[in-house]
Amino acid sequence: MRNPTLHDVARAAGVSYSTADRVLNERGGVAAKSIQRVQRAIQDLGYRRDIHAANLSRRRSYRFAVFLPRGDHGFFSALGRALLAQAEARAADRVSVTLCDPGQRDAGDWDCVALVGAESEGLAQVIADLADRGIPAITLVSDIAGPRRSYVGIDNAVAGRTAGRLVRLAHGRGAGRVLPVLGSLSLRDHRERLDGAAEILEASRLTLLPPVEVHDHPDRMRDALATALRADDGITAIYSIGAGNRGLIALMETLGEARPFVVLHELTPHSRAALERDLIDVVIDQKPSEEAARALDAMRAIADGEEPPVAVITPAIFFKENLPGVSA
Amino acid sequence: MRNPTLHDVARAAGVSYSTADRVLNERGGVAAKSIQRVQRAIQDLGYRRDIHAANLSRRRSYRFAVFLPRGDHGFFSALGRALLAQAEARAADRVSVTLCDPGQRDAGDWDCVALVGAESEGLAQVIADLADRGIPAITLVSDIAGPRRSYVGIDNAVAGRTAGRLVRLAHGRGAGRVLPVLGSLSLRDHRERLDGAAEILEASRLTLLPPVEVHDHPDRMRDALATALRADDGITAIYSIGAGNRGLIALMETLGEARPFVVLHELTPHSRAALERDLIDVVIDQKPSEEAARALDAMRAIADGEEPPVAVITPAIFFKENLPGVSA
DNA sequence: CGGAAAAAGAAATACGTCAATCATTTTCTT
DNA sequence: AAGAAAATGATTGACGTATTTCTTTTTCCG
């Protein structure tokens, strides 16, 4: 009943433990036919290396680095916190996470690193650098062009379509004008969300207005929105694609009952409070803690030489009515 | 830098390894003052037992049992599959899961068991029985009254409120009549969902009709719905709380464009296809695979003598537009 | 066939914990 | 103070794998 050990494999293959070990760990210096016999035995017995015993023996720990954009970019700081919390929770599994600054030259000896995919910056350089050093990498939040890598994050186009669907739902069969607000059109994720929303709104009686860029800044958000609403009193919905929602919320507070329907991203204490106070209608959340958990799962699998599980995170939709309790 | 071992603890406490071990594993026969010194050292050094080394040494495996209602009750069979899949994925962590029939007398030697909370059946008996044998238990899907246990599942009241919110959203400021369909009013989760939905609809211009009981049966579902729709042509929305949705979907197919707004539970191949074909509007999903994962997390923590993490699962909301890819 | 190289085997130590045994020391009883 | 009991210490061999060193056997080549 017990799982077979490498000793069992060796016995079944009719070779010594040493040889089985040499094959398993690809140490070389083994005749082709021995390799085959061992692999055959591994197959037959369904042998799987006991990864915990192996880790114990080689005193291995999982040293992961995550490069997050610096600054208090709401979602990224939440993700950073979630990653550290997850690492703490997995201390028993020998997982450690270090948050790094993407600007800085890195010379760490990592088992795997995670990067936030963004086209700007010298990211391609960093990746090439890592590849040179034989360090595997995954991307977070937003995938990146280039050699295929494992990706953990939400599908931004799906998020945008979800927003579009919610806006449509809120309008019933009626008409309306939807104002998209985003950080910048040069940000890939923002563009993807916008395109996703546009795709859904196209087929309806709703008009998607040209997007306003507010560079994720609350004050600009507030001013730009106030201006836009003054200029066009037919706006029935706002889709806030990026950050800076404190400004949006503050503005909604001044409008009272007559405010447009509002969809925004990321569940934060602010957006949560705004939902509860009926200042906004829907929050689409990327679930940083789930993303952190899946990212570590993927990195561990890669470090163990396994195939990382596919992990596309379905964004959560929160209304006032289904806010999670204290836990999340 | 390395984590302290029990040897380090013993040295720091000025006792032998044996004594430290006796304290750690509560083997008894240790003087009070030695106990204190060891515990002090554990504190000071921040010692944490290497659970993997421990498991290796005692050849431990996690033997879990899950009692699921028999029959092809859509969600439960999905949950069962998810549990087995999760167990397979955690084989490296020595996790094994056995699905059991709640009717049968059980004499297994489990490290932890999970039960579906339902008031009926001799469940209280089973739980008492387990307690006698010193086997810890958690509840799934629907919590149960009685001594506090760890619970993993969605909050059905929240799910119901979510459905209510979606129905309201779909009606804008307009009026409408909402028909709830459920398996039986005697099922706690169904009642909870209904109450949740009622709570949200109350404050609106929508009327919540008396619920129809269809006993989770597709044919009854279809007939009952057809009858109801014929009798009341003012029905603008249907909230299907339980199972048997194949019947609902088949009926919608015959109605064409004029069909009411439909919210139902559980993402299955059927409901998924119906979403894609615009036969229904929203699916609220309990995420069986996530529930399985969290359940195993909780069971493992309990078996390791740790505090199980709180895990209330926020139901996912699916439209046609945000259906997950192949993976989920 | 002889010698070198390649392949295979044997053995030991370690990782951190568990569990058991036996010897020794300390503490308690009366 | 003697003897019993309690507490402590010392030691050992697992668990399944990694890793190294050393020896022995096999294979290959000229």
pLDDT tens digits for range A218-236: 999 999 999 999 999 999 9
Question: Which chain A residues in 31-50 sit with Cβ < 7 A of strand C?
Answer: 31, 33-34
Q: Kindly determine whether the C-beta of residue A104 is less than 7 Å away from any atom of nucleic acid strand C.
A: no
- How far apart CA B99 and CA B69 sit, in angstroms, is 10
User: Do strands B311-313 and A62-67 pair parallel, antiparallel, or not at all (unpaired)?
Assistant: unpaired
- The position carrying tokens 């927003």 is A163
Query: pLDDT tens-digit profile of B90-120?
Result: 999 999 999 988 777 777 889 999 988 665 5
Tell me the CA–C1' distance in angstroms for A58 and D28: 36
Residue A92: per-residue pLDDT: 92
CATH dotted code for A6-49: 1.10.260.40
Residue among B151, B168, B169, B171 with most chain A CBs within 10 A, to mutate: B169
- CA A43 from chain centre, in angstroms, equals 36
| Angle of CA points B120, B246, B240, to nearest 5° | 60
Establish, for the pair of chains A and B, how many residue pairs have beta carbons separated by less than 8 Å: 99
Residue B149: per-residue pLDDT: 65
Chain D positions under 7 Å from a protein CB? 6-11, 13-21
Asked if B165 lies within 8 A of A52 by C-beta distance, the reply is: no
Helix, strand or coil, per DSSP, at residue B7: helix
- How far apart CA A247 and CA B149 sit, in angstroms, is 43
Q: What is the dihedral of CA B149, B150, B153, B154, to 10 degrees?
A: 80
User: Do strands A316-318 and A282-285 pair parallel, antiparallel, or not at all (unpaired)?
Assistant: antiparallel
Residue B75: per-residue pLDDT: 78
Are B141 and B189 in contact by the 8 Å Cβ rule? The answer is: yes
**DSSP codes joined into one string, B48-115:** ---HHHHHHHTT--EEEEEE--SS--HHHHHHHHHHHHHHHHTGGGTEEEEEE-TTS------SEEEE
User: Do strands B316-318 and B282-285 pair parallel, antiparallel, or not at all (unpaired)?
Assistant: antiparallel
Extract the residue ranges of chain B whose pLDDT is less than 50. Answer: 327-328
Spatial CA neighbour of B193 closest among B141, B261, B146: B141
The helix or strand, by DSSP H or E, that contains position B182, with its residue range, turns out to be strand B176-182
Spatial CA neighbour of A315 closest among A172, A180, A138, A196: A196
- Give the nearest nucleotide to A31, CA to C1': C7
Residue B294: per-residue pLDDT: 92
Residue A145: per-residue pLDDT: 52
Residue A327: per-residue pLDDT: 40
Domain ranges of chain A: 6-49, 62-153+288-314, 156-286
Tell me whether residue B69 is exposed, middle or buried, using C-beta atoms within 10 angstroms of its C-beta: 0 to 12, 13 to 18, 19 or more. middle
Query: Domain B156-286 adopts which CATH fold?
Result: Rossmann fold (3.40.50)
- The position carrying tokens 């197959």 is A43
Domains A62-153+288-314 and A156-286 alike in fold: yes
The minimum CA-CA distance between B178 and chain A, rounded to whole Å, is: 16
Residue B309: per-residue pLDDT: 80
pLDDT above 60: residue A55: yes
- Give the nearest nucleotide to A18, CA to C1': C9
DSSP annotation of A36: H
Residue A195: per-residue pLDDT: 96
- Angle of helix B32-45 relative to helix B6-13, nearest 10 degrees, comes to 120
Residue B69: per-residue pLDDT: 82
Spatial CA neighbour of A311 closest among B64, B269, B293: B293
User: Do strands A311-313 and B62-67 pair parallel, antiparallel, or not at all (unpaired)?
Assistant: unpaired
Residue B236: per-residue pLDDT: 96
- How far apart CA A267 and CA A265 sit, in angstroms, is 7
- Give the nearest nucleotide to A32, CA to C1': C7
- Which two tokens mark B249? 């979907």
- How far apart CA A207 and CA B143 sit, in angstroms, is 46
B62-153+288-314: CATH, from 3.30.930.10, 1.20.58.340, 3.40.50.2300, 3.90.650.10? 3.40.50.2300
The minimum CA-CA distance between A220 and chain B, rounded to whole Å, is: 30
Asked if A169 lies within 8 A of B166 by C-beta distance, the reply is: yes
Chain B CB contacts of A53 under 8 Å are 52, 56
Residue A188: per-residue pLDDT: 82
Query: pLDDT tens-digit profile of A154-166?
Result: 788 899 999 999 9
Q: Kindly determine whether the C-beta of residue A21 is less than 7 Å away from any atom of nucleic acid strand D.
A: yes
Q: Kindly determine whether the C-beta of residue B97 is less than 7 Å away from any atom of nucleic acid strand D.
A: no
- Cα–Cα distances in Å, from A40 out to A20, A30, A81, A103, B19? 11, 15, 46, 48, 47
| Residue A40: count of CB within 10 angstroms of its CB | 13
Are A266 and A74 in contact by the 8 Å Cβ rule? The answer is: yes
- Which two tokens mark A242? 């990026």
Return mean pLDDT, chain A.
89
pLDDT above 50: residue A328: no
Task: Return left, alpha or beta for A238; rule: phi > 0 is left, psi -120 to 50 is alpha, else beta.
Answer: beta
Question: Which chain B residues in 185-214 sit with Cβ < 7 A of strand C?
Answer: none
Kindly list the strands in the beta sheet with B112-116, ordered across the sheet, starting from the edge strand earlier in the chain. Answer: B95-100, B62-67, B112-116, B137-140, B150-154, B311-313
Chain B CB contacts of A236 under 8 Å are none
Q: Which chain B residue has the Cα nearest residue A159?
A: B322
Helix, strand or coil, per DSSP, at residue B133: coil
Chain B CB contacts of A328 under 8 Å are 312, 314
The verdict on pTM exceeding 0.85 is yes
pLDDT above 90: residue A144: no
The minimum CA-CA distance between B55 and chain A, rounded to whole Å, is: 9
- How far apart CA B283 and CA B181 sit, in angstroms, is 14
